Amino acid sequence: MNDLKYIMPHLKRYIPAYIFGILLLMVIDTLQLVTPLIIGNFTDTLMSGNLTADKIPFYMFAVVGIAVLVAVGRFGWRMTIITTSKKLEYSLRNQIFEHLEKLPLNYYNHHKTGDLMAHCTNDVNSVRMAFGPGVVMFIDAMFMGVMTIFLMITRVNLNLTLLAILPLPLIAFFIIALGKHIQNLFKGVQEAFSDLTDNVQEAFSGIRIIKSFVMEKKTLDHFNEKSRENFDANMNLVKLFGFVQPLVGFIATTSTLISLVYGGTLVIDQVITIGEFVTFITYVGMLTWPVMALGFVYNMIQRGQVSLRRINVILETEPEIADANHLLDLYPFVPTIDVKNLTFTYPGAEEPVLKNIHFSVQRGETVAIIGKTGSGKTTLMNLLLKLYNVDDGTIFYNNKDLNDLPIKALRDQIGYVPQDNFLFSKSIAYNIGFANETLEDDQIRSAAEVSQIHEEIMTFSEAYNTELGERGVNMSGGQKQRVSIARALYKKPPIVMLDDSLSAVDTKTEESILGHLKEELAGTTTLIVAHRISTIKDADQIIVLDQGEIVERGTHETLMTLDGIYKDMYTKQLLEEKIAKES
């Protein structure tokens, strides 16, 4: 029952539709059960010599009429129950996606995209099968089974019925005995599918690397291996079903055999009429389906249960970064940042990557963070955005503790340009105006001008309406960086954070962008992470990180007097530039 915790609210919404569909199904089932009685009656009338030509159309119309009603009714219940189960699938999938979006960055560090895709596709589908066709088949089978047996007893013969249905419980026994095994096999199928999806997703995301390293063969081999595992997992299930279904069919045939032998004897002994015998044999045939259906349903429900559990694991994962219960008001927002004694260790890691960090950024100031690769610059940015949890009393905006501020409202105040310039495979305008519901052409253009990308966008075939390839493949690295900067500026945020966002542009473009940014961002609090000192030379404050600690801080001029890491980096960069110019 606990498994139904998350799906129950969806199911409740569709209960009236389910009830209507189920009632319709029962009416159809009842109608179907009338046909054998008509055929039995026809046989008896025929055998007694009372069948006259004028009676035949009556039988004909009765059989055809029932068949038409059954066809119409079947359409009705399919439309009701199958549509309802599709709606259930739709709302469950949306709930999973919405929940996944709320999960913190760290969740994605530990869960593969392919797995998540499989949850949103295969697992949701299995749940739909269980709650759509599964429910239908279960009710159909139970109702048909009970009604058929009832009619066999009341309209034909009790002893014959009891003897004929004797082998049927064996079927239920087999299917239940195999239940655990089926669950395990199905879990294997779902896992193999997740792996395969993940493999395909990664192979095509990394296709440029694969091609440039001529690793197509290696990737194909790896894919084949995963594909084989998927095939094997499916085959295990197919083999089992291949064994179970004929077995069920065989057991059902023994019922027919008993009916023929014992039923024939009863006819000879004149305990039942030939018409009743024909009705009985038809009912035995009709009973095979409900019994087999119970087997199918059982499997479907097993699959649905495994999938539901996998989905529940996601839905049970709490958004680690939750808003505090008593939030402070963010407004009026003054863009000042204070970091006090901040130490941070990644979840699951042992060593802290940031140690005792403290600094302040005043409104309108530009603070630069520089340091060797792996020194903790991006981590610091991520913490300022609260992409990971931080201790109380370590980061303050506007003199208010980050943990007491509403996350969404705070992030709305920040224009962030990440290190990996992810672009969506939509238009350039969509990418720049991503932060807003509506795309304002003027603002998009002005953000692009400040980022020095407007002129290049105009050379694209459809300018701002040009559709980008996946992850913006039809743009150069530098162009992508500038579109990302434009995306952050479009929001006109009071705080801008640039994480190594100018590394792919040449020094001249960089200078030009920085010049424009300075004008445009006057009054904006800016944090810049950079490797190139030329990017941050004019910052009000430069912080030098080394192995997670601040080792130097000050303006460019003061740092140059220190004879430390900063001066060393600067001297090396100057030398490199000189060599590059001369060569």
73 in Cβ contact with 24 (< 8 Å): yes
With binding defined as CB under 6 A, does residue 445 bind ligand ATP? no
Where do we find the tokens 């559990």?
A: 309
The CA R_g of the chain, rounded to the nearest whole Å, is 36
| CA 537 to chain CA centroid, nearest Å | 45
Cβ 470 to ligand ATP, closest distance in Å?
A: 24
* Cβ distance to ligand ATP smaller for residue 246 or 374: 374
Contact at 8 Å (CB) between 390 and 383? yes
State yes or no: residue 350 binds ligand ATP (CB under 6 A): no
Q: Does 386 bind ligand ATP (CB under 6 A)?
A: no
Residue 531 CA to residue 525 CA, distance in Å, equals: 20
Please say which residue, 511 or 549, places its beta carbon nearer to ligand ATP: 549
Residue 433 binds to ligand ATP (criterion: CB under 6 A): no
Question: Quick check: 108 binds ligand ATP (CB under 6 A)?
Answer: no
If phi over 0 gives left and psi between -120 and 50 gives alpha, with beta otherwise, what is residue 216? alpha
CB of 109 to ligand ATP, least distance (A): 5
Of the residues 122, 379, 394, 481, which one makes contact with ligand ATP according to CB under 6 A: 379
Q: Exactly one of 109, 265, 558, 571 binds ligand ATP (CB under 6 A); which one?
A: 109
Cβ proximity of 160 and 259 under 8 Å: yes
Tell me: does residue 465 bind ligand ATP (CB under 6 A). Answer: no
Q: Please report, for the chain, how many H helices and E strands are present, in that order.
A: 24, 10
377 makes contact with ligand ATP (CB under 6 A): yes
From the list 161-169, 374-382, 429-437, 551-559, the region that binds ligand ATP by CB under 6 A is 374-382
- C-alpha closest to that of 566 among 539, 540, 547, 542: 542
Applying CB under 6 A, the span of 1-9, 186-194, 371-379, 393-401 interacting with ligand ATP comes to 371-379
In angstroms, the CA 569 to CA 407 distance is 36
Stretch that binds ligand ATP, among 155-163, 202-210, 269-277, 368-376 (CB under 6 A): 368-376
Q: Which is nearer to ligand ATP, 297 or 383 (CB)?
A: 383
322: left (phi > 0), else alpha (psi -120 to 50), else beta? beta
Q: Is 349 in the site for ligand ATP (CB under 6 A)?
A: yes
> Any residues with CB less than 8 A from the CB of 164 and at least 6 apart, and which?
152, 255, 258, 259, 262, 263, 280, 284
Q: Would you say 179 or 352 has its CB closer to ligand ATP? A: 352
DSSP annotation of 331 = P
| CB-nearer residue toward ligand ATP: 262 or 346 | 346
Query: What's the closest the beta carbon of residue 140 comes to ligand ATP, in angstroms?
Result: 51
Distance from chain centroid for Cα 515? 43
Nearer to ligand ATP, 369 or 559 (CB): 369
Total of chain residues touching ligand ATP, rule CB under 6 A: 13
Segment 406 to 425, residues that bind ligand ATP, using CB under 6 A: 419
Q: Tell me if 373 contacts ligand ATP by CB under 6 A.
A: yes
d(CA 107, CA 320) in angstroms, rounded, equals: 9
Closest CA to 527 of 362, 354, 356, 355: 362
Q: Contact positions toward ligand ATP, by CB under 6 A?
A: 109, 346, 349, 353, 371, 373-379, 419
